[in-house]
Structure 1
Amino acid sequence: MPKLSMHTATVTISLPSDIGSDEEIAALRIAGIPVDALGNAQFGYLFVRNGGGSNRRNIFRWFAGGLPQEPPLP
């Protein structure tokens, strides 16, 4: 079985889930995440985990170089 690689996000930020989209985009940019006017990462990979239940926060994890690709199996 191939060894799974670990990868660490370049930037991780937690924002309230009820924040407006303009405020969310501004917060992501202030944190150093390059997003366009719609909140999409301009490069790299942006993963968003929506908080549910009593935790009403969204976690944004941005990987500057994208996610690593697994090597092909022999």
Structure 2
Amino acid sequence: MTTCPYCNYKATNHETLAGETKPNEGDVSFCINCGEVNKFKDGKLVKVDMGSLDEKAKGELNDIRIAWLKMRALESAK
């Protein structure tokens, strides 16, 4: 289990951008609670500067964030 450094959400499951379910050191993560981007470091999640990521990762994370925002909007409209 890890804790989001932005919202303190406790996550029990993870999936990397490559589809792996066991993240490694330096893998990027997206919090499903607050929508912020984190990175695995020393066995925990730490805040990450989006500017430090390559363009492919930025694009994938933006796609994930858009899908996440759409789902949040649908849930709040119920």
**TM-score above 0.5, yes or no:** no
Q: Which structure is higher in strand share? A: 1
Structure scoring higher RCO (CA < 8 A, sep ≥ 6) equals 1
Normalising by structure 1, we get a TM-score of: 0.23
Q: Which structure is higher in helix share? A: 2
Normalising by structure 2, we get a TM-score of: 0.22
Of the two, which has the highest radius of gyration?
Answer: 1
